Amino acid sequence: MNPFLKLLILIAITIIGSLDFKPYASSILIISGIIIASIFSSLSILEILNSVKGFIIMSVTFMFVILAVRYISGESLKVVAVLGLGFRIILISIYSSVFVKTTDPTEFVISLIKYFKMPPKIGYAFLTAYRFLPTFKEELQTIKYAHEVRGIVESKNPFIKVWNSQRYILPMMANAVRKGIRISMAMETRAFDKYKTRTYYRELHMSINEIIMTAMYILYIISVAVILYLNNLVTFSVKYI
């Protein structure tokens, strides 16, 4: 599916999740999102839930702490509002996780350049940084091995670990600067983004079926919000409890 269309769905979900302070719409969209993602993608329900288990634990803990504090202080619990805050975290995290796991980074950058008119230099800068993440991980491991060979013992004290991180950061930053200079020189010699008539190695297209399915799902999201709002089960607000 075209990343641009998936991004539109994610934006719609983020808007609803950010403004709604009741759990009903969020819970419906969570269930429907998991089911649809498991049907139309290679992700299973367990894979989706495992990818956001950290956010689920965080939101449950968040709700429990708020309820406990309000109970101890003698305030009204406002269980519905607290559940709404927790469910909105789960809602946005699930849709974001599905988007990340089903989207190719290169296609995503091309969609930003093509449909959102992002300058190619900015788009390809993000893509290059993303592509270098595995390389930086290997460099970090190589530096750690080099320290072990020389008898440098890693402290278990977290504060000392933070202080000693400069031993890794400085050489990695130096390598990153050198690689960045080489890449920028290579792009300049190839006249990158010099002419607006440039072509793309990988072309992105939208099929009619994808557009129809995206429009239907966005309409479904809006319908859920409107129906629940008319039944006083959705409260749009920018205030916290």
With cut-offs at 50, 70 and 90, classify the pLDDT of residue 184. Answer: confident
pLDDT score of 176: 83
Task: Give the residue with greater pLDDT, 14 vs 152.
Answer: 14
pLDDT at residue 239 in the model: 58
Assess whether pLDDT exceeds 70 at residue 128: yes
Q: Is the pLDDT of residue 30 over 90?
A: yes
Query: Is a pLDDT exceeding 80 seen at residue 164?
Result: no
Per-residue pLDDT at 196: 72
- Burial class for 56, CB neighbours closer than 10 Å (0-12, 13-18, 19+): middle
What is the distance between the alpha carbons of residues 76 and 2, in angstroms, rounded to a whole number? 46
Angstrom distance (rounded) from CA 2 to CA 206: 6
Structure-token match 């969020």, residue found: 26
Q: At 7, list the tokens.
A: 């991004």
Q: What is the pLDDT of residue 238?
A: 60
What's the pLDDT tens digit per position in 205-230? Answer: 888 999 999 999 999 999 999 999 99
| CA pair distance 61, 59, nearest whole angstrom | 5
pLDDT, residue 153, reads 75
Query: What's the pTM?
Result: 0.78
- For residue 240, pLDDT over 60 is answered with no
Q: Tell me what the mean pLDDT of segment 97-109 comes to.
A: 89
8 A C-beta contact, residue 193 and residue 121: yes
In DSSP terms, 25 is beta-bridged to none
Q: What percent of the chain clears pLDDT 90, i.e. is strictly above it?
A: 33
Among 22-36, 37-51, 163-177, name the one with the lowest average pLDDT: 163-177
Q: Which pLDDT does position 241 carry in this prediction?
A: 52
pLDDT for 35 equals 93
Mean pLDDT for 94-113 is 89
Q: Pick from 44, 127, 56, 115: which is nearest to 91 by CA?
A: 56
pLDDT at site 145? 86
